[in-house]
């Protein structure tokens, strides 16, 4: 009888302990993802990074590996918004290494949804579509909860976006409407308006954008959703030639952008470009030029410094996480050593672990180099395309890939104008005089004259080849 009673007590203690662990994990996931999304939408970069650092340490202390994976995913997603793709890849790899051994549906769905977005940003549409389908498969296996609805909302929204890219507008609209049923922020209404506006259905677009605008005003939070809504509203008013209203909406977007740009840094260029278009259509060339120049100057001045700070934060987090992980591994190795000291294959086991880590490190390095190469090629193709279209963003994007080129030109002659710098950039890309004339809509003779003036301003020797001279500057 005593044995039976003791067995029942032990079973109850084990059951309670397991229940307590499961409850901790549920509360951990829900709290982390809710606060992370709040900080992300509000553009609170520092708060978001500190939140994930704090929760990572909690997960480490509780030996909750999947909780650590969520922190990696959250920070990877922030780096996507900042177009810091290399750091995103490293963080996603860390998360995947953990989740490969997990069957948690919520975690898997969160990973594949965010990783799909990452692939979309790199223009790998088929991969993005595939990963989002995987996210949908996993989220449907999870139990009903607020957390499930939040992730499902993002999955539906991404699915709609990918379907637009795949030229399937009707299916896209179906997924937008599914997302809308789970949304209380106005984001889905705004996305639907943006989508409908693309098909020139102005009345329907206005209906949805005003619903989004009313919801964001009622929420009273100047966050990423409000930023998106004000921008789309401004673009609608431009198309409808209501320029006063467009200016008001875009100025409101600029105010929100100033508060949220540490996470939505890429958004400034869209607002400035919209303002440029607005003033061009009004015939106000002075303001149009002002916002074109403001965009170029602000982007080159702030994004480099911002990215440097972000990289320092990410490297600090990765280093701390690695140190914690190594400490944890040391404890495990110590226990194994004490338990298996009598067995001669402890050395073989340790060798395998070290060899595996070395191989993983080598694979990560190769993946990183491959990603960097792909990104450089993609950027080169982008600026070539911008040059051919005579796009005003060309010079700014060129500076990102050749940051020292313009500086060296200005050291030779600080008086060079923007148009002359743009012309030098096209020569740096080895466009012929005929090509430059076609792309910039001027006569071939005008290009030749420009070449002569540039040679004179930069003191290029008569016997020197212009293209070789520019190649030597970077």
pLDDT of residue 9: 41
**Helices 224-239 + 243-260 axis angle, to 10:** 160
Query: Which band of pLDDT confidence, cut at 50, 70 and 90, is reported for residue 364?
Result: very low
Task: Tell me the C-alpha distance between 36 and 53, whole Å.
Answer: 11
Query: Which band of pLDDT confidence, cut at 50, 70 and 90, is reported for residue 13?
Result: very low
Query: Which band of pLDDT confidence, cut at 50, 70 and 90, is reported for residue 153?
Result: very high
pLDDT of residue 5: 46
pLDDT of residue 95: 93
**Helices 65-81 + 2-42 axis angle, to 10:** 10
pLDDT of residue 175: 92
Q: Is the pLDDT of residue 88 over 70?
A: yes
Q: What is the pLDDT of residues 200-215, one digit of tens each?
A: 678 888 888 889 889 9
221-230, 296-305, 314-323: range with lowest mean pLDDT: 296-305
Task: Tell me the C-alpha distance between 73 and 463, whole Å.
Answer: 56
CATH number for the domain whose boundaries are 381-471: 1.10.10
pLDDT of residue 127: 93
* Residue 287: both structure tokens together: 């303001």
Q: Is the pLDDT of residue 334 over 60?
A: no
Q: Is the pLDDT of residue 336 over 80?
A: no
Residue 440 C-beta-side C-alpha neighbours within 13 Å: 22
Q: Note the Cα 309 to chain centre separation in Å.
A: 16
Query: Which band of pLDDT confidence, cut at 50, 70 and 90, is reported for residue 19?
Result: low
pLDDT of residue 68: 94
- Please return the burial class of 321, using the count of CB atoms within 10 Å of its CB with bins 0-12, 13-18 and 19+: buried
Mean pLDDT score of the chain, rounded to an integer? 82
Average pLDDT over residues 346-361: 58
Task: Tell me the C-alpha distance between 56 and 196, whole Å.
Answer: 41
Q: Is the pLDDT of residue 2 over 60?
A: no
Task: Tell me the C-alpha distance between 127 and 33, whole Å.
Answer: 25
Q: What is the pLDDT of residues 54-68, one digit of tens each?
A: 999 999 999 999 999
| 196 or 123: which leads in pLDDT | 123
pLDDT of residue 305: 45
Q: Is the pLDDT of residue 340 over 70?
A: no
Q: Is the pLDDT of residue 29 over 50?
A: yes
Q: Is the pLDDT of residue 139 over 70?
A: yes
Average pLDDT over residues 212-236: 89
Q: What is the pLDDT of residues 239-282, one digit of tens each?
A: 889 999 989 989 998 898 888 877 776 778 888 889 989 888 98
pLDDT of residue 53: 92
Q: What is the pLDDT of residues 434-468, one digit of tens each?
A: 999 998 889 999 999 999 999 999 999 988 898 99
Q: Is the pLDDT of residue 131 over 50?
A: yes
């Amino acid at each position: 009888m005593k044995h039976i009673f003791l067995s029942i007590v032990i079973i109850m203690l084990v059951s309670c302990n397991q229940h307590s662990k499961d409850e901790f994990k549920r509360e951990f996931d829900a709290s982390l993802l809710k606060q992370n999304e709040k900080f992300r939408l509000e553009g609170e970069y520092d708060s978001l990074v500190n939140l994930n650092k704090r929760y990572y340490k909690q997960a480490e202390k509780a030996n909750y590996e999947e909780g650590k994976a969520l922190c990696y995913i959250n920070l990877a997603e922030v780096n996507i918004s900042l177009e810091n793709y290399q750091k995103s890849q490293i963080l996603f790899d860390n998360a995947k290494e953990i989740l490969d051994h997990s069957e948690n549906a919520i975690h898997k769905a969160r990973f594949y949804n965010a990783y799909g977005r990452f692939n979309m940003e790199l223009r790998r549409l088929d991969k993005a579509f595939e990963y989002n389908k995987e996210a949908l498969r996993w989220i449907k296996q999870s139990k009903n909860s607020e957390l499930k609805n939040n992730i499902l909302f993002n999955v539906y929204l991404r699915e709609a976006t990918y379907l637009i890219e795949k030229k399937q507008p009707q299916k896209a609209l179906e997924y937008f409407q599914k997302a809308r049923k789970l949304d209380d922020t106005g984001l889905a209404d705004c996305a639907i308006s943006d989508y409908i506006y693309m098909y020139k259905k102005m009345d329907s677009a206005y209906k949805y954008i005003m619903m989004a605008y009313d919801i964001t005003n009622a929420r009273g939070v100047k966050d990423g959703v409000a930023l998106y809504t004000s921008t789309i509203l401004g673009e609608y008013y431009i198309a409808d030639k209501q320029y006063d209203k467009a200016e008001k909406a875009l100025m409101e977007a600029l105010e929100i952008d100033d508060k949220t740009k540490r996470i939505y840094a890429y958004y400034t260029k869209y607002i400035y470009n919209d303002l440029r278009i607005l003033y061009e259509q009004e015939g106000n060339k002075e303001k149009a030029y002002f916002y074109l120049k403001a965009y170029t100057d602000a982007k080159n001045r702030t994004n480099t410094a911002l990215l440097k700070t972000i990289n320092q934060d990410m490297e600090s987090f990765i280093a701390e996480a690695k140190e914690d992980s190594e400490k944890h591994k040391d404890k495990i190795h110590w226990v194994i050593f004490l338990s298996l000291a009598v067995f001669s294959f402890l050395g073989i086991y340790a060798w395998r672990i070290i060899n595996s880590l070395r191989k993983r490190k080598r694979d990560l390095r190769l993946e990183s180099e491959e990603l960097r190469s792909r990104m450089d090629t993609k950027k080169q193709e982008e600026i070539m395309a911008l040059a051919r279209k005579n796009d005003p963003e060309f010079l700014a994007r060129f500076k990102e890939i050749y940051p020292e080129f313009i500086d060296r030109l200005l050291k030779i002659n600080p008086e060079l104008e923007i148009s002359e710098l743009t012309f030098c950039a096209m020569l740096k890309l080895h466009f012929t005089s005929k090509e430059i004339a076609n792309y910039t809509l001027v006569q071939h003779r005008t290009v030749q004259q420009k070449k002569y003036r540039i040679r004179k301003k930069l003191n290029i020797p008569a016997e020197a080849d212009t293209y070789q001279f520019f190649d030597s500057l970077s």
